[in-house]
């Protein structure tokens, strides 16, 4: 199939928008891994909850105030609720580890289990049918511009926070050696709790933005974007915030252009085939650094 220039331009723009959602999810995964060496698969569930909490607040507030007030309060509520849920997940995991008295508990399996609990909780509260999001972005170029500005701003802010602040230095130090960081007087648990709270909040606002962009939400919306976000994370280079952006945009462009070229039913096949090819050629991802094991 030959793509006309106008259609190609539309597909590229769509790829950047979709890729921005993937990049924000990948950013959460990569910072979790870079700080505490685990992939928090409950992150996708928090993304979905952010959308549903924003939806519930909009429905509750809209009849009593202006739309702008409802949007502001619902965004703040979604971010705050997502951050609190992130804290609860970290606290519960620490509690379970303590109760097991040194018996290994896989953080990855724990994250998958919590994600399933979140999904099924949303299913029982809101049902399986898609819900129309009460607030939708304008159906023109403004929709794309607003989405890209918010997503890229969040990613740039995260990059600056991680690499230009004292707390960011503490995060990176915790990711290198917990024991050495404790000897320097840094509270590892405090750093980990803040990371969980902050990036869960980002997942919440990403879910809210996705609901406003697509116009509808449903309880499985986190599963697909969580999987694609993890793919973008590995593709760009796990542990690298800039790699999350590169991986997200690359995956989004591959999906959009590839789907428009040979058919949307081949989108996932194309995306994951490229991922496998990159991992064969450069296992650390596009911007990942080679790690030398120390004796």
Kindly report the CATH number assigned to the domain that includes residue 265: 1.10.3470
Q: Is 289 inside a domain boundary?
A: no
Q: Is 287 inside a domain boundary?
A: no
Q: Is 295 inside a domain boundary?
A: no
- Residue 267 sits in which domain range? 5-281
Where the chain has pLDDT below 50, the residues are 103, 291-295
Residue 126 confidence (pLDDT): 92
Cα–Cα distance measured from residue 107 to residue 40, given in angstroms and rounded to the nearest whole number: 8
- Per residue in 112-139, is it b (16+ CB within 10 Å) or e — as a string? bebbeebbeebeeebeeeebebbbebee
- CB proximity list for 111: less than 8 A, separation 6 or greater: 38, 39, 40, 41, 42, 43
pLDDT per position as a tens digit, 243-293: 888 899 999 998 888 877 887 778 888 777 877 888 788 877 777 655 444
- CB proximity list for 114: less than 8 A, separation 6 or greater: 41, 42, 45, 89, 92
Residue 53 confidence (pLDDT): 94
Q: Is 198 inside a domain boundary?
A: yes
Q: Is 62 inside a domain boundary?
A: yes
Residue 289 confidence (pLDDT): 56
Q: Is 56 inside a domain boundary?
A: yes
Pick from 204, 208, 146: which is nearest to 17 by CA? 146
Q: Is 219 inside a domain boundary?
A: yes
- CB proximity list for 285: less than 8 A, separation 6 or greater: 234, 235, 236, 237, 238, 240, 243, 247, 278, 279
Residue 86 confidence (pLDDT): 92
Residue 98 confidence (pLDDT): 61
Residue 208, CA atoms < 13 Å, CB-side half-sphere:
28
Q: Is 120 inside a domain boundary?
A: yes
- CB proximity list for 255: less than 8 A, separation 6 or greater: 15, 18, 267, 268, 270, 271
Residue 65 confidence (pLDDT): 64
Compute the chain's Rg from CA coordinates. Answer: 19
Residue 183 confidence (pLDDT): 85
Q: Which residue has the tokens 């996932």?
A: 268
DSSP 219: T
How many domains does the structure of the chain reveal? 1
């Amino acid at each position: 199939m030959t793509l006309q220039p106008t259609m190609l331009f539309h597909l590229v723009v769509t790829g950047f928008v979709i890729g921005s959602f993937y990049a924000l999810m990948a950013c959460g995964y990569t910072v979790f891994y870079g700080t505490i060496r685990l992939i928090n698969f409950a992150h996708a569930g928090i993304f979905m909850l952010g959308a549903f909490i924003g939806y519930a607040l909009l429905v509750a507030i809209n009849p009593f105030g202006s739309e702008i007030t409802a949007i502001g309060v619902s965004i703040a509520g979604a971010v705050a609720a997502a951050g609190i849920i992130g804290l609860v997940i970290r606290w519960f995991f620490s509690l379970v580890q303590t109760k097991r008295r040194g018996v290994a508990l896989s953080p990855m399996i724990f994250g998958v289990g919590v994600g399933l609990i979140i999904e099924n909780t949303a299913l029982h509260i809101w049902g399986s049918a898609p819900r129309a999001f009460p607030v939708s972005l304008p159906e023109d170029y403004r929709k794309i511009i607003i989405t890209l500005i918010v997503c890229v701003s969040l990613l740039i802010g995260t990059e600056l926070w991680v690499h230009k602040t004292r707390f960011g230095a503490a995060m990176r130090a915790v990711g290198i050696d917990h024991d050495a960081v404790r000897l320097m007087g840094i509270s590892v648990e405090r750093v980990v709790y803040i990371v969980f709270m902050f990036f869960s909040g980002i997942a919440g606002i990403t879910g809210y933005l996705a609901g406003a962009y697509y116009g509808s939400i449903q309880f499985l919306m986190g599963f697909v974007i969580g999987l694609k976000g993890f793919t973008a994370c590995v593709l760009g280079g796990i542990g690298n915030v800039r790699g999350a952006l590169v991986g997200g945009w690359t995956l989004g462009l591959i999906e959009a252009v590839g789907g428009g070229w040979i058919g949307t039913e081949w989108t996932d096949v194309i995306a994951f085939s490229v991922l496998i090819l990159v991992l064969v050629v450069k296992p650390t991802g596009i911007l990942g650094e080679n790690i030398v094991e120390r004796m």
